[in-house]
A and B are shown apart, each in its own frame.
Chain A
């Protein structure tokens, strides 16, 4: 397909130690710590205002933390100006220089490092091949599609083989189909080069698809760090459960814990059981279960189907199991008939798929 890419460069290890950043009265980043491993794809995922971009800007050097440390392969970068950090960065709007062609855009970081011309040519051509833009070297940004501009930005960020590549919502401006395609390409490039990537996004699907580990951020803090599967299946709190994918979260009070199984009583009097996790007797808590883990069977909780939504690949049911308690059920659209609204169904789930979370 294309020339073989440059050999894997290996990524750096990045340690964030207790970072704090305050703007005015607002603490935007509140004691953030993380250890990012060499070659890891690490995402900061959170709603807007959660401090993920500020954290990234502190890593890049465009913001200085009030306290805390940033270590790259054990060297302290906390007060190093951005131009001396040697990190790669992909911006949300690509930040492609409009007056330079694709070749010169990608050559820019090499020229800043006074790399000889012959080497610049070789390395830019390698980078162009890697992002499959060989034929576009002499185009300008305005002559490129969004996806192509995105590839230029990525090539420019990796051409000088930085130890860490930072990406700030790099796919945010692309439409949904192209975004998925670019995710696949990005992941492929990252794995081939063995890069360490710190990736900021508010798109949970994107984060799950790309990341080795995700840090879920909220109000300037990291709520949970882990592999996508781990966070998705066993969130540590209701915010994480709600933010990553769809979740049924039924509030109530823990009335009993027996052999690791807690029983929760809802305000409308239902009794529901699930693995206790960290909750204690008498505590307010939520029962967490993913909609796709619920099924209509013969054994479980009785309810009435109140709504049925056709979402293409899934059929989503809203089932009333108590006067004030609804469960969302996602059924794969396998062609089997789905229950009609008004129909009484029995909702079941595997006990291991549910979890009690402290509120």
Chain B
């Protein structure tokens, strides 16, 4: 009992901080834009008009599509990297983890601009292609969906790798050895043993990356084309350009609700995993 009370006490500063800098502004924003705003109509009408608007529906589709593409790409790239990390030690491990973690601590804007330097019309990749004669006119690699996916994949890769690595580290290597001794091929060991045992990491990693993707703003705004509008960009436009705060608030609520639902799923999965003693 006292232990529990002590824990609550220790959490108090963090909770107060969260309340002050996150919950309060959020509440204030919703209150201002949806209830106190004299221009706003009845709340329900605003919600209906926002979620039926063509631009919003288009943005929801784009957001989900890009987030799915990014999640799949990050998973395909991240799984082998995490496997390598989980099965190597010493300088190899250090080198790879360094390459994964250092960008993680670098500003997202810096990382996005560095991709623009690489992919631009006069960027390094085009210069290399032109110099080697593979192409004769620069390839348009920026301001389209692939550019967004490349940029977001790079930003989100560490989340996937670190999550998968943590899951793979808990797999007992003697299981693989035992399976091999029982006559299983490498493909069978992966399909029947390693993949199922790392599956909770795959699901957790994919959820984290997807959750982060659907709220992404900077990378798609900088690297995407005019038609690649994600929901966060639409919110920004409503606030900055059309000054339609009530629409912005409804979209924000929508995004927040989806994020919370996905987070609840993520939380349940990790909790179940702990219950299973994995």
Contacts and interface: CB of A to CB of B under 8 A. Distances in A.
B177 A93 contact: no
Contacts of B185: 83, 112
Contacts of A111: 188, 192
Interface in A37-95: 60-62, 81-89, 91, 93, 95
Nearest to B196: A99
Nearest to A140: B276
Contact of B181 (A60, A98, A99, A113): A60
A295 interface: no
Contacts of A109: 182-184
B188 A97 contact: no
Contacts of A60: 181
Interface in B227-278: 276-278
Contacts of B45: none
A142 interface: yes
Interface string B164-201: 00000000101101111111110010001100110000
Nearest to B181: A89
B178 A89 contact: yes
Nearest to A85: B181
Contacts of A99: 196-197
B172 A82 contact: no
A108 B174 contact: no
A86 B179 CA distance: 12
A84 B188 CA distance: 14
A87 B183 CA distance: 8
B116 to A, nearest CB: 44
Interface centre among B177, B182, B185 (most CB of A within 10 A): B182
Given A112-B184, A112-B185, A113-B183, A91 B178 contact: yes
Contact of A95 (B178, B184, B192, B276): B178
A97 B276 CA distance: 14
A151 interface: no
A101 to B, nearest CB: 13
Given A86-B183, A97-B193, A99-B196, A142 B276 contact: yes
A156 interface: yes
B274 to A, nearest CB: 13
Given A98-B278, A108-B192, A93 B174 contact: yes
A111 B192 CA distance: 10
A91 B182 CA distance: 12
Nearest to B199: A99
Contacts of A108: 179, 182, 184, 192
Interface string A192-203: 000000000000
A89 B176 CA distance: 13
A142 B193 CA distance: 17
A277 B197 CA distance: 59
B183 A83 contact: yes
Nearest to B277: A142
A153 to B, nearest CB: 9
| Residue from A62, A98, A156 having most chain B Cβ neighbours under 10 A | A98
A84 B182 CA distance: 9
Given A82-B180, A97-B179, A108-B184, 10 more contacts: A83-B181, A85-B181, A89-B181, A91-B174, A95-B178, A97-B175, A98-B197, A112-B188, A142-B277, A160-B182
Interface of A: 60-62, 81-89, 91, 93, 95, 97-99, 108-109, 111-113, 142, 156, 160
5 contacts: A81-B180, A89-B181, A95-B177, A108-B192, A111-B192
